Structure 1
């Protein structure tokens, strides 16, 4: 199932529509015969709005002019009369949409913010599900400025730039780091929007799912989004290539010889041997070669009293080794560094 496969046409409940009843949030009552009951959206119910959208069991009251100005699809619907409503509520035309109400709310929040944003270190931040929904509907309803804005956030995480990657966890992100499974949807978004720069890192995350890469990404409405056959085949082949790089990476980073500046060589040598053996054992068959070893190094350095010189050199080797692997990533997935805009420098 692709992201833009759902119809944008109105759906009729029946040939003889029932009377629409729209209740405030938190209220409910058994509808009378001939009534169809919905709940106002907590944020997107504007008392002076002149258009009502219904998605699932939720009603949204909005400004028709703002919606049609922002969305080519809605503009065409109203211009051609294809959205002339046979249903009305409180003098407003009612248009039924097939979208999940939470998805529609996330799209509208990007289009016309009406709720308080989630904050992280004082800055607005979204999660992947919200952005996935927003870009899905922005593309479907041809709302280009919302699509562009959401893509700019996604591209900061699924980035072509090594510097952005290594600093993401310590920066002030606009998106909370998503679960690995979100990479399946990220690949599909990149394909849908022709955003090639997202593909290598998103495909890498799919590879790290191992057997779960075929499970897909579960949407809010319960449907599951899968990779295309071509991308799945690409990830299976790339996973083997990346797994073969892991032993070399471990040997490069976790050298057993202490630093020339080490003043506790005997103690550090023993610690380095133990650390190397542990990492080699736990990385067998793994393909997540870009994942940082920094936490492991910091933990072992403290536990085994590894000197600062040995620890620093190990951390430096770790960044250098990952940067070199980063440069290989586009080629692993059959792309070029130039076509993806990949950069590997560390500022």
Structure 2
């Protein structure tokens, strides 16, 4: 029948032939989940010391069962096989979870160049310590941040840790009544790190922002305008209606990088003069830069960077 998958019997079992990585002239077979993969020993052993050593195991058949996910092992083969066999797929078009799987399996089989290349691509897709506010939508749910923390620790990639901790520390957890709670998958140290970071972050935001004229919670105190007659920025409606003050202040405390970014991009308002608008944008931009610089103090990894596997 059209579209029916080919099968092959190996041992006492029947497996589906992989639609791409079953080469008729291949000379080593890997059994992954319900699928048989037939590839070239010379290519595999040249790229992976671990798989090469597996060949030394005495066996009457040249086939091996692997306890990997099929999608991860296939992705690894997509990358290491010559382009005449299949097209490599490391690109920013890949979903970030697929790249995490690729990095993990590449490290397991010591295909170091693939792991390094995939990590570089992943740095463009997830927030990092260098760019903590890029692509933050990946952390719209706490489970994704927990997954990244677990992955980063397993694979020794600390550049992804602090932004993921920031995401958890700024989550309003009641909005995500997940069972079981994904936070319970963190180590006790990391659970404490989220809680402590949350307190430190909010304390710093209050310290830096409370005295600003736009953050006086219903008592606008803007009196620095040099324009003759002043402007309305600190009294009536400034950049937002006065009744929104409490909501904007709350958002600044809970989601400071997002809120400050929005404030940087606010257009000129008819109630605020140009000089006050420029001062407002510059001050909020500087606050955002300062908070990013302080992520290391909010989420200190100094006690476990030497053992980044993330023990208790």
Instruction: Please give the TM-score of this superposition, normalised by the length of structure 1.
Output: 0.65
Q: Which residue of 1 aligns with 2:199?
A: 240
Q: Please tell me whether the aligned partners of residues 247 and 280 of structure 1 are also in contact (alpha carbons under 8 angstroms).
A: no
Q: Which residue of 2 aligns with 1:284?
A: 250
2:160 is the counterpart of 1:198? yes
Q: 1:34-69: per-residue Cα shift (whole Å, max 9, x none)? A: 974433434433343322322222333322222222
Q: 1:192-236: per-residue Cα shift (whole Å, max 9, x none)? A: 23333433223212323353697339xxxxxxx932222122112
Instruction: Please give the TM-score of this superposition, normalised by the length of structure 2.
Output: 0.71
Report deviation, 1:158: 3.7
Q: 1:31 to 1:327 in 2, by over 3 A?
A: closer
Q: 1:110-141: per-residue Cα shift (whole Å, max 9, x none)? A: 434734748xxxx7432211111011111222
Q: Which residue of 2 aligns with 1:19?
A: none
Higher relative contact order (CA 8 A, sep 6+): 1
Name the Cα RMSD after superposition.
4.1
Q: For 1:279 and 1:67, how far apart are their aligned partners in 2? A: 62
Q: For 1:50 and 1:259, how far apart are their aligned partners in 2? A: 79
Q: For 1:76 and 1:30, how far apart are their aligned partners in 2? A: 28
Report deviation, 1:239: 1.5
2:241 is the counterpart of 1:265? no
* Number of aligned positions between the proteins: 285
Q: Which residue of 2 aligns with 1:96?
A: 65
Q: Which residue of 1 aligns with 2:29?
A: 52
Report deviation, 1:27: 0.9
Q: Please tell me whether the aligned partners of residues 268 and 310 of structure 1 are also in contact (alpha carbons under 8 angstroms).
A: no
> Match of 1:52, SS?
strand
| Aligned with 1:328 (options 254, 273, 294) | 294
Structure 1: any 5+ residue segments left out of the alignment?
Answer: 1-23, 87-92, 170-175, 218-224, 341-347
Q: For 1:261 and 1:39, how far apart are their aligned partners in 2? A: 77
Report deviation, 1:30: 11
Q: Which residue of 2 aligns with 1:146?
A: 114
Q: 1:278-334: per-residue Cα shift (whole Å, max 9, x none)? A: 254255385433335334664x64787756554443332222101111222112222
| Aligned with 2:39 (options 56, 59, 62) | 62
Q: For 2:2 and 2:49, how far apart are their aligned partners in 1? A: 31
For 1:151-300, list aligned pairs within 5 A: 151-156=119-124, 157-161=126-130, 164-165=131-132, 168=134, 178-180=138-140, 181-211=143-173, 215-216=181-182, 226-248=185-207, 250-251=209-210, 252=212, 254=214, 257=222, 260=226, 265-266=231-232, 269-272=235-238, 274=240, 278=244, 280-281=246-247, 284=250, 286-295=253-262, 298=265
Q: Which residue of 2 aligns with 1:4?
A: none
